[in-house]
Amino acid sequence: MKCKFCSREAYIKLHYPKMYLCEEHFKEYFERKVQRTIEKYKLLKKDEKILVAVSGGKDSAVTAYVLNKLGYNIECLHINLGIGEYSKKSEEYAKKQCELIGAPLHIVRIKEILGYGIGEVKTRRPTCSYCGLTKRYIMNKFAYDNGFDAIATGHNLDDEASFLLNNLLYWNTEYIAKGGPLLPAEGKFVKKVKPLYELTEREVVAYALAVGLEYIVEECPYARGATTLDMKAVLNELEEKRPGTKYNFVRGYVKKKKLFESEIRRKELKECKICGMPSSGDICAFCRFWGLKEEIKFKVKVR
C-alpha cells in the first residue's frame, strides 16, 4: 500500500483514523499529535524546565525524544532500582537513549542512597508497592530540589485505557478521580504530565523503531502485569472490532472525570519532620519506610 500523502510505500497502517503512512509522514503525524495533546490539555509551555523520567523502556524514551524534537527544554532522570541484571540493562538503555536524543541524564541509584535495592528489603509490604512509593518520591523530590516545572512520564493511551477499565471494574473511584493527562502542581508536588496520552502503544513502538531508539524489552522480574495485560487484551479485541474504542473511552473519561471528584478523600497535608516534603503524618511514607533520620538532598547541576 502507498502512503496517504506521498507515493512512498506505507510503513504503518493506522486503524483510527484509518490510513496508511510512510515512515516520514508517520513521524510527522506522531509528533503533531503529541504537540496537539500538549496544547489541548495545556500540559507544558516552551519556557518550562521539564524532567523526563526515563526507565530504559520505549514509552519514556519516546517521550524524551519527541519533547526534545518539539523544542521543549528537557533533562532526564533515570532511577536505578537495584534489581540485578534488569536494572543494569535498564540504566545502559537509558544512557544510550539520552545520548541519541542529546539530553542531559541524571542517574539516582537506590542501592547507593538507601543501602538496598528493590526486592532486597525485608518487609511485609508488596515489592511493587514500596517500589512505586520510592520512585514517585524520588522523581518528585529530584524535580523539586532542582527547580523543574514539570515531570513528564511515558504513559500512553493503552496504559490509561487499561488503568481506567480495571478501576471501573473494581469501582476504585478514588483512583478513577485521579487519572488524566495532567496533575497540576500543588505545594511541593511538582506538576506531572503525560504527553503520549492519546497515542497507542503500537504507535509508540513504531515511532521508536522509526527514529532508532533502542529500549529494554524484558519485564521487571517483579511485574505482576497479569491484570494490566488482561485489560489490554480485552481492549485490543474491542479495538479490532470497533476502531476508536480506546480513544473514545479515554477522551470521554477526561470529559466526565469531574463526576468522580467527590470521591477524593482530601487529607490535610503537613511537612515531613525529616525531609520537609508533604505528608499526612509527622513523617512521610518514604522516610518512614526507609527508616531515614535525615533528608536526602538531590540537588545537582542542571542546565
Of the CA atoms within 13 Å of residue 49, those in its CB half-sphere come to 14
Looking at 12, 20, 25, 156, which residue binds Zn ion (CB under 5 A)? 25
Tell me how far apart the alpha carbons of residues 195 and 157 are, in angstroms, rounded to a whole number: 10
Shortest distance, position 134 Cβ to ligand SF4, whole Å = 8
Looking at 80, 127, 200, 279, which residue binds ligand SF4 (CB under 6 A)? 127
Question: Applying CB under 6 A, does 200 fall inside the site for ligand SF4?
Answer: no
Name which of 68 and 153 has its Cβ closer to ligand SF4.
153
CA distances from 278 to 95, 105, 108, 182 (A): 31, 26, 21, 19
Contact by Cβ (8 Å): 118, 159:
no
Question: Applying CB under 6 A, does 115 fall inside the site for ligand SF4?
Answer: no
Shortest distance, position 23 Cβ to Zn ion, whole Å = 8
State the residue for C-alpha cell 485490543. Answer: 236
A 10 A CB-CB count for 154 gives 21
Task: Name the binder of 222 from Zn ion, ligand SF4, none, CB < 5-8 A by kind.
Answer: ligand SF4
Question: Applying CB under 6 A, does 131 fall inside the site for ligand SF4?
Answer: yes
Shortest distance, position 112 Cβ to ligand SF4, whole Å = 17
Looking at 1, 113, 223, 302, which residue binds ligand SF4 (CB under 6 A)? 223
Q: Strand 150-152 relative to strand 49-53: parallel, antiparallel, unpaired?
A: parallel
Tell me how far apart the alpha carbons of residues 126 and 81 are, in angstroms, rounded to a whole number: 15
Question: Applying CB under 6 A, does 165 fall inside the site for ligand SF4?
Answer: no
Where along the sequence are the contacts to ligand SF4 (CB under 6 A)? 81, 118, 127-128, 131-132, 220, 222-223
